[in-house]
Structure 1
């Protein structure tokens, strides 16, 4: 291949690559605009902060009337040698169901063998890794994983496993019976399932990805509002 042909090849390849990137960016902006229009049509507040430097973009949708807030984060950064690191999550939060102290997490169901490992007094390397993976669902909270332990169960519970600090072992049990939560977990692997947790700020629901469409947004908010209503019952005097 002659030099001018090589040059033309790289120019064409570069243009094609740029076109693909521009198309992806345009598609992303369209989806973001759709989320904004839908949020405003529901009379929710909407705020978008674009990526700056090493900080990714953040979308916040909230309902002052119903007192909930949904934050969605996405960041893609280069890790060198053409590698890419992606960090993304979506989190619904409301002030209902606050704990006086500590934390309780309702995560994906654990296999029976995993439960046996975690129920042992000495977790060992495998148990620590399993615990670490569970807390990846709520990363960025600054919580010491040693403060929580698996709430002992004899057999695997398809409704989910509970990690909690002392005194909060039953704090998220009320959410296990929610039909909406069961449906949201159905057909999804552990990394795709929503995680519900209660802390001193209230009740939160977290996903390990950013919601990208109006359909996803609507389904997630419907799930979270059902969880919020259940949490509100916890605040009522007995």
Structure 2
């Protein structure tokens, strides 16, 4: 079976609205269980798979997500293009709450995660080119879809992937800024690299939920405000994905 698109939903996106002819699939993988069943269906007349990265009840923290199982399952179902939807914090001045961004670069600060399919016993060792972590053609397609749908997005930016589940200190965010990061999130890696290992096209839609520590006017980051911002930003995702599929 071929899929036109697979979507991995992050915090605040646990089901994908508008899917028709829905079928839930529990996929067995060599790497264990996926975060949730894969929900397959049709959207805009195209075949789509959706997987909730943190589980359908947000029960899986970012450092415990089975990224290998998730990516392997989508690939085994026929996915060749994957969109990762990620809730992030904003560092750069134009990346405040409720902004939607399509990053083009990434720095990995995570640790202790299974970062490669090569980690499996007996697996072939592959050295992928990761100089451009997001597939240019898919990024461009997302940006074009946003233009057609009238969805405002920021083109580009560097995503700094941190370990979580705690939020970062002001000093850590200051370091990320010095390193050139524009966004900070907890789930960008190893997801992007694993997709590259399986030769999947992969792009990220980053939903900015809050200013990162020390970047906004707020003295303290409010979880209530984070989720309110996410609800607002997440609302544009189905519109954007439908426009992408229509092309």
TM-score (norm 2): 0.30
More helix by share: 1
Which has the larger Rg? 1
TM-score (norm 1): 0.31
Identify the structure with bigger relative contact order (alpha carbons < 8 Å, sequence gap 6+): 2
